[in-house]
Amino acid sequence: MVELGSTSLTIVGVIAGLAVASLVVAAVLRRQVLAAGEGTASMQQIAKAVQEGASAYLNRQFRTLALFAVVVCALLFLLPGDGGVKLGRSLFFLVGAAFSASIGFLGMWLATRANLRVAAAASLPGGRAEGARIAFRTGGVVGMSVVGLGLLGAATVVLIYKGDAPAVLEGFGFGAALLAMFMRVGGGIFTKAADVGADLVGKVEQGIPEDDPRNAATIADNVGDNVGDCAGMAADLFESYAVTLVAALILGRAAFGEQGLVFPLIVTAVGALVAALGVAITRVRGAESGLTAINRGFYVSAVVGVLLAALAAFVYLPSTFAEFTDGTAGLTDHGGDPRLIATAAVAIGVVLAGVILWVTGYFTGTTSKPTLHVAETTRTGAATVVLSGIGVGFESAVYTAGIICAAICGVFLIAGGNVALSLFLIALAGCGLLTTVGVIVAMDTFGPVSDNAQGIAEMSGDVSEEGAQILTDLDAVGNTTKAVTKGIAIATAVLAATALFGSYADAVASKIAEIGNAPADDLVAAMMDYDIISPVTLVGVILGGATVFLFSGLAIDAVTRAAGAIVFEVRRQFRDFPGIMTGEVRPEYGKVVDICTRDSLRELATPGLLAAFAPIAVGFGLGIGPLAGFLAGAIGSGVLMAVFLANSGGAWDNAKKIVEDGRHGGKNSPAHAAAVIGDTVGDPFKDTAGPAINPLIKVMNLVSVLIAPAIVVVSFGEDANTALRLSIAVVAALIAFGAVIASRLRAARVDREGALAHALEEPDVVTAS
């Protein structure tokens, strides 16, 4: 086992201490949130229903996923590698998954308690500032926990495994990413199925307002906000944090040995300090909007983050590349100053976060041209609303992708074109971007908490008109912050995935060196070739993009299907219990929650299996080069698709708000009907498919890094076994493809059942056909 020097161990120990301190801060903030008033009995009753539904869903989800995690853990152990490290990797896979799940559960648990307190606070004098404070503190708890657990996990691995930490960290990151992906997909399906289903029957068919207690799907809708937007988002950001840090540690270790392994931990520890600062300084002053306060918090954190990172670089790093203790990646004659170069990379990451914040605001804000344009098209009907929103989404995706590309090119220039150095610096830029994650998580939690608070206020009827307006304002701020977080998350995905290419190539190269054999024939040589002009590499690029398209399509279809089931259930309740409409009978909220739970757990398997097994099929079937192409295609299509889905959804949502604020005819005008259709199309775009692409990219990347040595072993050299290689590819393809087929068959059955239900309800129409 490679040893670390005592200075490094001391530093890592201090960092682990800082991580624990972050968790203590989170605990203190949590107590502050829970200390706030809980409002009337009626409000508490509603909140309790939401809490129970959300807990029930997450518990069932965790039971399902625990089985899956154990299987993956066993499979990990089958891969080639040193016994002790392999055991560590499997173990820390479980730790990563458990941390991801805990963060998600914490986010949900606290949000379902904070929403009630925000709603209660809004009715009191000084409600605006107090409501915003509680909502933002709730985010602070999650933010500090993300930072604390991520840093604690990584530091622990480094303390235990020292120089062998990278292989174990792969397991940790993979566990975090895999669980986050499932939580994003499952939660996303739940929340949007409930939302779309509730709107289709409530708003469209019965003409009752959103969150009306007579709608059987309202509680499910509010549960969804918590399991999707809170739990899913928190797990996703934890995963972004963990994987980016892991990538930096792996590459730093490979390029610069001990110092390369420790420095990213230092930068991330700076992030923990900055997060605490951000949470402390962000408070609403007087009548200013919540967004102003959040922006201020973000920019102050960003500047302080860069300054502290620069300080750390100048204290810890040597002034020339020749002075590194070990492993300088052939950079001994590099003329640059490592301290300046590292600081510049971190700064690029921070600036990238700021620019994405601005661009996303531009494309989805209620006062910006693109959203006003979408609102303008509501006058010519739903079709033009859909088309203009898609146009805005495509365009914003291009600019966001371009900005991320510019950041990568900037880092590449700083590295003087050295690939190994630039990959490490890209990971470092990712760490820089994530120094602001504390504030970002806090910002993002703002959205669902205030959205839910509004729901509780509406359902209970116990909140004053002034209080309701405060909650509406808070909710609008939440819409924009949610879109921003998605942009930041996808940027970290691109940076982490790009950097992980380095560990992929390292894993392959070291295994080839170990085998000591060259590929025997043209076909195997082509399998090993990273050359982009090889036809099979290009096939990899196309298949990578195709996986992103299929994944998105499956997620969107799952929402459409599950929403259909909810529509039928809510209609049934209205029909069977006429008292619901008059307010005499309470709808069976639990039934709708059950349907959402059942359907989203069933539906999350298909995209999940696709993500985990597609890289295995491509890698073993076509080879190392095509698998690299596959990842590149997935990253390229993934970033564009993720931003497209998030921003077109955001623009539709806010275009609807513009119309509801009285433009183009206001509420209940034809323009409003068109805007509602746009918003409904955008729901699964922005909250199901779009955000799930971020963990998808990382899961596929980490699976590839993990299986790369195995592909090399079965492809050539002494243990080459073409039959085994192709068998693995075929089995993986069958699992991935089988899941898709199973989902199709289920869809066909739902269509048939739907037709049957329609036939019972509307015999005249069916007879006519």
Residues in 526-545 at the binding interface with a copy of itself, rule: CB under 8 A: 526-527, 530-539, 541-545
Q: Which stretch binds a copy of itself (CB under 8 A): 50-58, 209-217, 398-406, 457-465?
A: 398-406
Q: Per CB under 8 A, does 522 bind a copy of itself? A: yes
Positive or negative, the Cα torsion across 130, 132, 134, 137?
A: negative
Q: Which of 210, 395, 588, 594 is close enough to bind a copy of itself by CB under 8 A?
A: 395
What string marks each residue from 434 to 473 as x (binds a copy of itself by CB under 8 A) or -?
----------------------------------------
Q: Which of 44, 55, 206, 380 is close enough to bind a copy of itself by CB under 8 A?
A: 380
Return the ∠ at Cα 258 (arms to 257 and 259), rounded to 5°. Answer: 100
Alpha helices (H) in 123-164, listed in sequence order = 127-161
Based on CB atoms, which residue is closest to a copy of itself, 104 or 502?
502
| Total of residues contacting a copy of itself (CB under 8 A) | 113
Q: Which of 120, 223, 273, 397 is close enough to bind a copy of itself by CB under 8 A?
A: 397
How does DSSP classify residue 160? H
Q: Which of 366, 412, 598, 605 is close enough to bind a copy of itself by CB under 8 A?
A: 412
Q: Which of 152, 179, 193, 390 is close enough to bind a copy of itself by CB under 8 A?
A: 390
Q: Which of 232, 297, 448, 502 is close enough to bind a copy of itself by CB under 8 A?
A: 502
Per CB under 8 A, contacts with a copy of itself among 611-640 are: 622, 625, 628-629, 632-633, 635-637, 639-640
Q: Per CB under 8 A, does 552 bind a copy of itself? A: yes
How far is Cα 220 from Cα 459, in angstroms, rounded to an integer? 13
Q: Per CB under 8 A, does 417 bind a copy of itself? A: yes
Shortest reach from residue 64's CB to a copy of itself, in Å: 24
What is the Cα gyration radius of the chain?
26
Q: Which of 28, 70, 409, 756 is close enough to bind a copy of itself by CB under 8 A?
A: 409
224 close to 281: Cβ distance less than 8 angstroms: no
How far is Cα 526 from Cα 705, in angstroms, rounded to an integer? 19
Q: Which of 28, 124, 405, 520 is close enough to bind a copy of itself by CB under 8 A?
A: 405
Positive or negative, the Cα torsion across 233, 558, 202, 393?
A: positive
Q: Per CB under 8 A, does 366 bind a copy of itself? A: no
The residue behind tokens 């080879």 is: 623
Shortest reach from residue 657's CB to a copy of itself, in Å: 13
- For residue 536, give both structure tokens: 């099979």
Shortest reach from residue 373's CB to a copy of itself, in Å: 6
Per CB under 8 A, contacts with a copy of itself among 277-336 are: none
Q: Residue 752, Cβ neighbours under 10 Å: how many?
A: 10
Shortest reach from residue 491's CB to a copy of itself, in Å: 12
439 close to 143: Cβ distance less than 8 angstroms: yes
Q: Residue 578: enclosing H or E segment and its boundaries?
A: none
Q: Which of 13, 416, 461, 583 is close enough to bind a copy of itself by CB under 8 A?
A: 416
User: At a CB cut-off of 8 Å and minimum separation 6, what does 443 contact?
Assistant: 139, 294, 298, 481, 484, 485
Q: Per CB under 8 A, does 418 bind a copy of itself? A: yes
Based on CB atoms, which residue is closest to a copy of itself, 69 or 198?
198
Q: Which of 222, 236, 110 is nearest to 184 (CA)?
A: 236
Based on CB atoms, which residue is closest to a copy of itself, 242 or 640?
640
Shortest reach from residue 617's CB to a copy of itself, in Å: 11
Q: Per CB under 8 A, does 423 bind a copy of itself? A: yes
Q: Which of 76, 183, 550, 710 is close enough to bind a copy of itself by CB under 8 A?
A: 550
Based on CB atoms, which residue is closest to a copy of itself, 590 or 670?
670
Q: Residue 287, Cβ neighbours under 10 Å: how many?
A: 7
Q: Which of 114, 47, 43 is nearest to 478 (CA)?
A: 114
Shortest reach from residue 534's CB to a copy of itself, in Å: 5
Based on CB atoms, which residue is closest to a copy of itself, 266 or 386?
386
Shortest reach from residue 68's CB to a copy of itself, in Å: 24
- For residue 652, give both structure tokens: 């539709």
Mutual angle of helices 605-622 and 165-199, in 10-degree steps: 140
Return the ∠ at Cα 117 (arms to 115 and 118), rounded to 5°. Answer: 65
The residue behind tokens 């792996």 is: 250
Per CB under 8 A, contacts with a copy of itself among 682-721 are: 684
Burial of 510 (0-12, 13-18, 19+ CB in 10 A): middle
Q: Which stretch binds a copy of itself (CB under 8 A): 50-58, 68-76, 119-127, 561-569?
A: 561-569
Q: Residue 128, Cβ neighbours under 10 Å: how many?
A: 22
Per CB under 8 A, contacts with a copy of itself among 730-769 are: 747-748, 751, 754-755, 758, 765, 768-769
Residues written for the chain: 769
Shortest reach from residue 722's CB to a copy of itself, in Å: 13
The residue behind tokens 């709608």 is: 215
Based on CB atoms, which residue is closest to a copy of itself, 70 or 755?
755
E-only strand ranges, 374-505: none
Per CB under 8 A, contacts with a copy of itself among 179-218 are: 196, 200, 204
- For residue 360, give both structure tokens: 């996303």
